[in-house]
Chains A and B, each alone.
Chain A
């Protein structure tokens, strides 16, 4: 092929041309993404380092098992797989937008960029739900000989090892009335909160089924920090990607690229967006799969 022949004959490094056959803007975007890869890399590697420095780490399947609208059903990894697919699909629509740009097809760019933005917003909404669910989650945790109800925050982690029945039975005796009501309610939805509140501690304890009550010790605190920190930093990238895409969309609509004669800006925005997807692949691996 003619092109292949020129590629081999060109003296790429001789000056007067780009040795990579790329305009500087795209080159800068690539190198920016490389440096950003080191930012994310440093976060994920720190997470790895801390995780290796702990004797116990929560099983992601236990932590991430909820699905919007599915109540307390145990659906490990279901929701995060939806999020992953949303991001993959939005990456595909971005590829199509860039392709439309190559052809100078303004309508195509607008259409596919629009879908990409929708995908990004959908992902962010999913993340918001997941964070909310984790933070407000109610998990029975054995703390200092009694049971507390706590959620997953940056300061505390409810996903330690499962406590044994004897310890739980003993701890129930020291547990506050409020918490007992809550625990009884989790096991038996038939009774209203008020009815349970009226019962004595003893009645409540006897109504709690120890077999179904999964009480855990407190887990490694760093889990929450890293989870919220890294998914938050990724979410921030998604958000800025959405903003960039919205800017690109308006610029396309205003014929900025049409007049310029090329849609290279869309390509650069596309690189950024794919990078966000790429990072998610690794976040998905590190937090949800292993």
Chain B
């Protein structure tokens, strides 16, 4: 199908024939479903770990990291196959992918500062700490953060 209305388009896309197209779509659908199932399995594992007596925080963190990576994989397949970005020429792919790099610093700085806000409040706002810090079973009380330097205010 040509688009005579768009002369800015130099090379008209050759659309895949039905068979290979359906194969590709089927493959991607199965892939997305499998990844989602794995994600759910990990989610439930986190649940079971949390229910246990002494949750292994490191393991939970690892699982969460895995889910994030799997989600990125899903996003990749949706964008590249369903949205056909993978079929575009390289210029186009770059113009979409490169600006998304801004998210790295966007996410890092926001999370970093959110975390810092928590630490600051735990240090300087005793009420906040007492009312919101969950009591963990069988865990030593964490080392108290250094009290604010007493001095002339």
Contact = CB atoms under 8 A, between A and B. Distances in A.
A41 B110 CA distance: 11
Given A59-B47, A289-B42, A95 B11 contact: no
Contacts of A185: none
A148 interface: no
A48 interface: yes
Interface residues of B, number: 64
Given A19-B91, A61-B47, A99-B21, A10 B10 contact: yes
A282 B78 contact: no
A41 B21 contact: no
A160 to B, nearest CB: 8
Given A20-B91, A92-B25, A289-B39, A282 B75 contact: yes
A161 B130 CA distance: 13
A96 interface: yes
Interface residues of A, number: 68
Interface in B49-97: 50, 64, 67-68, 71, 74-75, 78-79, 81-83, 88-89, 91-92, 95-96
B112 to A, nearest CB: 8
21 contacts: A3-B14, A10-B11, A12-B91, A23-B6, A41-B106, A53-B118, A53-B121, A55-B132, A55-B133, A62-B47, A76-B43, A76-B47, A85-B36, A92-B25, A95-B81, A102-B15, A270-B83, A277-B78, A281-B71, A289-B46, A290-B68
Given A49-B110, A81-B40, A262 B5 contact: yes
A226 to B, nearest CB: 13
Interface in A1-55: 3, 6-7, 10, 12, 17-24, 30, 34, 37, 41, 45-46, 48-55
Nearest to B12: A21
A147 B29 CA distance: 47
Interface string B94-135: 011001100100110011011101100110000011001111
B35 to A, nearest CB: 10
A262 B8 contact: no
Nearest to A81: B40
B89 to A, nearest CB: 5
Contacts of B134: 55-56, 161
Interface of B: 1, 3-11, 13-15, 21, 25, 29, 32-33, 36, 39-40, 42-44, 46-47, 50, 64, 67-68, 71, 74-75, 78-79, 81-83, 88-89, 91-92, 95-96, 99-100, 103, 106-107, 110-111, 113-115, 117-118, 121-122, 128-129, 132-135
Query: Closest 6 interchain pairs by CB?
Result: A49-B114, A52-B114, A61-B47, A20-B92, A23-B6, A18-B8
Given A50-B114, A264-B3, A290-B67, A95 B82 contact: yes
A51 B43 CA distance: 18
Contact of B71 (A52, A62, A285): A285
Given A19-B91, A274-B83, A290-B64, A102 B1 contact: yes
Which secondary structure dominates where chain A touches chain B?
helix
Given A55-B133, A277-B82, A290-B67, 10 more contacts: A18-B9, A20-B88, A21-B92, A41-B103, A49-B111, A53-B117, A55-B118, A61-B47, A289-B43, A290-B46
Tell me the dominant secondary structure on chain B's binding face. helix
B115 A77 contact: no
Nearest to B32: A88
B15 to A, nearest CB: 4
A149 interface: no
A84 B36 contact: yes
Given A48-B114, A61-B50, A96-B25, A278 B95 contact: no
